[in-house]
Amino acid sequence: MDIQEFSKKRFITNIILGQKLINDLSLNKKKQVSIEYFMNHLNYFKKYLNENWDNKIEIDKYTELIPKDVENKLMIDSEILLKNSHCIEPYCKKSIKIVSPLAQFHRNCYHYKLVKLESAYYDLMGMLYYNEEIIGYVCCAKRTSGYKNIYIVLFWEYDKKFYENNNKKIVVINEISEDISFYEKECYSRYIKHIRSQLFSILYEVIKENKTIQNIVCIGEEEGGNLLQLFLVDFLNNKDEFYIKIEDVELYLFSYNTAKLSTDTFYKGFIELFGKNSLITCFSEKNNAYNTWENMEKMNIIFLN
């Protein structure tokens, strides 16, 4: 299959952005996990995301990076549907579609089996897209014994009028969990339509091939944090249907300037599931997102100057 069928520019953008990203992460890796460590993931990503790649990329210069014989290297069964075999009407979980590595490459023009980016401490496993726009990435931390941590990073800015709407109505949604009440249906729809399959597809492949994985660390800014909240609830609700053993995997969430988009019950349930130390909710000083978190004294909330 000829690479001409894909977007060369998208493929090369992913390579260049990804290489710069994991280089910076490796150069500034801290042995002890801290707020700075999480913020580095977000700050480096946004730094390169904001570059004008269209005017910087010379396609011909990077021709040698374009993989040959893509179809034979990535050809696996087209897709797997994870179904809940215990569902009882009227509540029925929405099946998860896990697409093949080839389908992932068709969509996002990147796959870690085709290109090994060089970094001392990280491997880039996948880029995450919303339509034509890069909004996140998945990488793994290297160890001599194999990968231990998967990092999922998502950055999605709130709409400019987001904080002007003070009368958000609760929408009860039960596609991934029976009792989720969410204030922003658009955020939920973005997760279901654009994020869900991408994330589960990458994780399915990485965890299946790397039995040393112990932690899934989610890092999200603004609505990116809300999307990852939904992912974690979804993951827990469907882990028994996942085709690989994941019972021992620990889940963590760091969110930055992320507003409260569900009821107190949702977040109290989060704390019960994950434990207070597994959830860090961080805000820049005087950020509007903090004002949405009333009555949540048990949350692990931190302010940055």
What is the chain's pLDDT, residue by residue, as a tens digit (305 residues)? 455 545 788 888 898 899 999 999 998 876 666 888 899 999 999 999 888 776 777 767 777 777 777 777 787 655 677 766 555 666 677 888 888 888 888 888 888 888 878 888 999 999 999 988 999 999 999 888 889 899 999 999 998 888 887 676 777 777 787 767 777 788 888 999 999 999 999 998 898 888 888 899 999 999 999 999 999 888 887 777 666 666 678 889 999 999 988 877 777 777 777 776 788 888 987 788 888 877 666 667 777 76
Q: What local confidence, expressed as pLDDT, does residue 1 receive?
A: 45
| 164 Cβ contact partners less than 8 Å away, ≥ 6 residues apart | none
pTM: 0.90
Q: What local confidence, expressed as pLDDT, does residue 222 receive?
A: 96
The gap from C-alpha 75 to its chain's centroid, in whole angstroms, comes to 24
- Counting beta carbons within 10 angstroms of the beta carbon of residue 43, is it exposed (0 to 12), middle (13 to 18) or buried (19 or more)? middle
Q: Which candidate, 239, 245, 237, places its Cα nearest to that of 213?
A: 245
Q: What local confidence, expressed as pLDDT, does residue 177 receive?
A: 75
What whole-number distance in Å separates Cα of residue 74 and Cα of residue 300? 42
- Counting beta carbons within 10 angstroms of the beta carbon of residue 269, is it exposed (0 to 12), middle (13 to 18) or buried (19 or more)? middle
Following DSSP, what letter does each residue of 153-197 receive, concatenated?
A: EEEEPPPTTGGG---PPPEEE-SSSTTEEES-HHHHHHIIIIIHH
Q: What local confidence, expressed as pLDDT, does residue 62 receive?
A: 72
Q: What local confidence, expressed as pLDDT, does residue 90 receive?
A: 62
Q: Domains in the chain, start-ordered, CATH in brackets?
A: 3-304 (3.40.50)
Tokens of 225: 């944090």
Q: What local confidence, expressed as pLDDT, does residue 70 receive?
A: 75
